[in-house]
Amino acid sequence: AEHHRDQRVAVVGLGRFGISLAEELMRRGWEVLGVDSDEHLVQQHRDTLTHVVLADATDEVVLRQLGIDEFPRAVVAIGTRIEASILTTSNLLELGVPNLWAKAISRQHGKILERLGAHHVILPEHEMGERVAHLVTGRMLNFIEFDDDYALVKTVAPQSTTGMPLSESGVRRRHGVTVVGVKRPGEQFTHATAETVVQPGDVIVVTGRTSAVESFADLT
């Protein structure tokens, strides 16, 4: 039998973060209910999202009237007004939204949202700042860190990995990272295998423990 996922997301707060998120969901074919208490923002995004509603999300009755309790996913994208963020998060949890993401603007704010029971807490500025630090200091072109000290990095191939099959270069043994993808200039990424020969100037994607991929990306 075909399995239909409920592809609806409620996004509360249509500031820079909320609207970017909502528009990306729309591009991916999801249905988005946007909620904001600012009349101008609601007007502005009337036609960009599936539904846009002018409402104060700190009011639990209003949220119930909007049917947000029926949504499988919701994001609280209120930042600067911490009190409103906390109340809204608490309301949505009370209403039983099963997957709730909440944006925080400081670590303390994030801690409160976590203690309230938010399923996922996002710290966009902190997380992006840490990520950009990796790009600024090294040769990394992109850096994504997962939980549990594991990261994925896009970088220019260091010399020690080029000119021979990956199995012979000993990348995994010597540096503790695994090359998963290779890209020649002007071409698409392809999956790396033991036989892949990386050329100078190629861009590669490697995975491994964060400290290992960091050191690896510092090699020339």
Residue nearest to ligand ADP (CB): 15
- SS in 3 state form for the chain? CCCCCCCEEEEECCCHHHHHHHHHHHHCCCEEEEEECCHHHHHHCCCCCCEEEECCCCCHHHHHHCCHHHCCEEEECCCCCHHHHHHHHHHHHHCCCCEEEEECCCHHHHHHHHHHCCCEEECHHHHHHHHHHHHHHCCEEEEEEECCCEEEEEEECCHHHCCCEHHHHCHHHHHCEEEEEEECCCCCEEECCCCCECCCCCEEEEEEEHHHHHHHHHCC
Position 25 contacts ligand ADP (CB under 6 A): no
Q: Site size for ligand ADP, by CB under 6 A? A: 20
The CA distance from 34 to 22, in Å, is 7
Which position among 8, 9, 11, 17 is part of the footprint of ligand ADP (CB under 6 A)? 17
Position 37 contacts ligand ADP (CB under 6 A): yes
Which position among 11, 22, 41, 104 is part of the footprint of ligand ADP (CB under 6 A)? 41
Position 32 contacts ligand ADP (CB under 6 A): no
Which position among 49, 63, 74, 78 is part of the footprint of ligand ADP (CB under 6 A)? 78
Position 13 contacts ligand ADP (CB under 6 A): yes
Query: For ligand ADP, which is the closer residue by CB, 56 or 127?
Result: 56
Which position among 56, 70, 127, 149 is part of the footprint of ligand ADP (CB under 6 A)? 56
Query: For ligand ADP, which is the closer residue by CB, 52 or 182?
Result: 52
Q: Shortest approach of ligand ADP to residue 186 CB, angstroms?
A: 36
Which position among 33, 35, 153, 198 is part of the footprint of ligand ADP (CB under 6 A)? 35
Position 34 contacts ligand ADP (CB under 6 A): no
Q: Give residues in contact with ligand ADP (CB under 6 A).
A: 12-18, 35-38, 41, 56-58, 78-81, 84
